[in-house]
Amino acid sequence: MLEITTIDENGVYAVKNCKKGTEYLVTIEPDTCPCIAYRYYGDCKHIQAVKDIVREDKHMKIAIERTEDLMVLD
Ligand SMILES: [Zn+2]
């Protein structure tokens, strides 16, 4: 279970692994993570977790905008 905190709206997130007690500062676009997996593979679960959250957040914003449009049309 990863806990994600937004540090900066421009794409900086703190990803905390509660089970292991580790925390990484992840940046997306361009993607960077200080963990070992990222250093070896250029990708890691921390970045994936952040991207999932960001994608959901964008979907929510689109949904809200659409709802507002409908309200205006009504
Ligand atoms: Zn990582």
Note whether residue 14 is domain-resident.
yes
Check residues 71 and 13 and name the one with the higher pLDDT. 13
Note whether residue 27 is domain-resident.
yes
d(CA 68, CA 73): 9
Distance 31 CA to ligand 1 centre (A): 10
pLDDT of residue 34: 97
- Domain range for 54: 2-69
pLDDT of residue 71: 61
Note whether residue 74 is domain-resident.
no
The single residue listed with the structure tokens 């914003």 is: 61
pLDDT in tens, 33-63: 999 999 999 999 999 999 998 888 777 777 7
Q: How many domains does the chain have?
A: 1
Note whether residue 15 is domain-resident.
yes
Distance 66 CA to ligand 1 centre (A): 34
Sheet of 22-27: strand order equals 2-8, 12-17, 22-27
Predicted structure pTM score: 0.75
Distance 63 CA to ligand 1 centre (A): 30
pLDDT of residue 49: 94
Note whether residue 34 is domain-resident.
yes
Note whether residue 55 is domain-resident.
yes
Contacts of the segment 49-56: beta carbons below 8 A, 24+ positions apart: 49/2, 49/4, 49/15, 50/4, 50/13, 50/15, 50/26, 53/4, 53/13, 54/28
